[in-house]
Amino acid sequence: MTTVAEEKARLRAEWEEGTTCRCCGQRVQLYRRKLNSGMARALIVMYRAHGLEWQDKTVTLSGVGAAARDEPLLRFWGLLEEDTRTREDGGRAGWWRVTEKGAAFIRQGTRVPKYAKTFNSQCYGLEGESITIRDALGDRFDLEELLYGTY
């Protein structure tokens, strides 16, 4: 019989390829998430709308569309942060803000690793080549238009 500690060790050894937990049947895989153009665009929209102030990102990003569904992952790079206060009903506050590092990424070309290694809403490190916001946006978006034009 396998102990929980032994199973945890096996899962950790096999999670990059992906495996199934023998205790609960859950799929266990460490995902390599790319800082993509939708995330970069959402960061810019949030910065333009409220700078470094707290904001309801669902309201701010309501016109951005489906491209902005991964923006909470920006917290893994330290570019966005969530308010940790809870509502009266015990739920999450739902307020987010662009960090100083996020503003530097947008305005000054600060570089960050291209990938975050994630599992179960946690980050287990950043890796890959260092990229700028222009790299993340790719050829589909013009940084100056996003920063100074209409969105």
For 101-123, the pLDDT digits (tens) are 999 999 988 999 999 999 988 99
Whether pLDDT at 16 is above 90: no
When pLDDT is cut at 50, 70 and 90, the band that residue 147 belongs to is confident
Specify the pLDDT at position 150. Answer: 55
Q: What Cα–Cα distance (Å) separates residue 96 from each residue in 6, 7, 17, 84, 132?
A: 38, 36, 33, 9, 22
For 40-80, the pLDDT digits (tens) are 999 999 999 999 999 998 889 987 765 557 899 999 999 99
Q: Could you tell me the end-to-end alpha-carbon distance of the chain, in angstroms, rounded to an integer?
A: 58
Domain boundaries, the chain: 38-112+133-148
**Spatial distance between the Cα atoms of 134 and 142, rounded to a whole number of angstroms:** 8
* Average per-residue pLDDT for the chain: 88
Specify the pLDDT at position 58. Answer: 86
What radius of gyration, in Å, describes the C-alpha atoms of the chain?
18
Mean pLDDT of 25-49: 91
DSSP string for residues in 9-20 = HHHHHHTTT-EE
When pLDDT is cut at 50, 70 and 90, the band that residue 151 belongs to is very low
Whether pLDDT at 82 is above 90: yes
Mean pLDDT of 73-100: 89
Specify the pLDDT at position 14. Answer: 86
User: Higher confidence at residue 142 or residue 97?
Assistant: 97
